[in-house]
Each structure stands twice: as C-alpha cells, then as structure tokens.
Amino acid sequence: MLVLFAALVIVHGSAEAADYSGRARVIDGDTISIRNQRIRIAAIDACERDQTGLKNGKLWRCGVAARSYLGTMIDGQHVRCDIIDQDQYRRLVGQCFIGDVDIGLAMVSGEMRN
C-alpha cells in the first residue's frame, strides 16, 4: 500500500512539473518564457539572436528574423508546453502549442525554414 502511494505521489508530481501554460514571451527564435520559466521549443534550432546568414545571396539577420517570426506567432498569447527534456544549458525543452497548433512545426513549415 505504501509503495502504491509513493508511486502515485511521484507520478502526480512529475505530471505537474511536465506542463507549463500561460502567456508567453519570446526570448529568441526558439526560446520562450512562461511564468518566468525559459522553455526551448523542441525539435527546432533557430539562429541565435546576433547570428547572420545568407539569403538570396545577401546578408540576412536570421536571428532577428527568427525572433520576429516567433513573436508574431505567439507573443502575449496563451501557450501550453509539454516538457520533454532539459538541454545542456539546463533550459526546459518542450513541445509547445497555441490551441492545437504545434509551434515548432509551424516554425519549420512556415517562411523561416531555410
């Protein structure tokens, strides 16, 4: 009986820790903040804030573009993230949604895929 109780406490505690939801704020092209907790969006790797690249043969501020694109999608909206991992910088990594829309999938299927 005690083992069952301990198992229920562990499962219940990890379920709460594995979900963040609330108004989101964009940090960069693949990181958001919900309730002051930084969460990296799973399965995408956007350019860093100051990173540049080439697009159509011209210098492109891809870090600024990625942040802006994510910002137009989610800034200030209610976002739910299912936490699935922690990265090497100890940020939570999650699959994040606005309603039923997977934010990571929307990023890679939209104009930011290059």
Confirm whether 10 is domain-assigned: no
pTM: 0.78
Confirm whether 47 is domain-assigned: yes
CATH code for the domain of 63: 2.40.50.90
pLDDT at site 90? 86
Which H/E stretch holds residue 11?
helix 2-17
Mean pLDDT of 85-112: 90
Confirm whether 37 is domain-assigned: yes
Residue 48, class by beta-carbon neighbours within 10 Å (0-12 exposed, 13-18 middle, 19+ buried)? middle
Confirm whether 89 is domain-assigned: yes
Domain extent for 45: 20-109
pLDDT at site 69? 94
15-62 pLDDT, tens per residue?
445 689 999 999 999 999 999 999 999 999 999 999 999 999 999 999
Give the whole-angstrom CA distance, residue 74 versus residue 91.
19
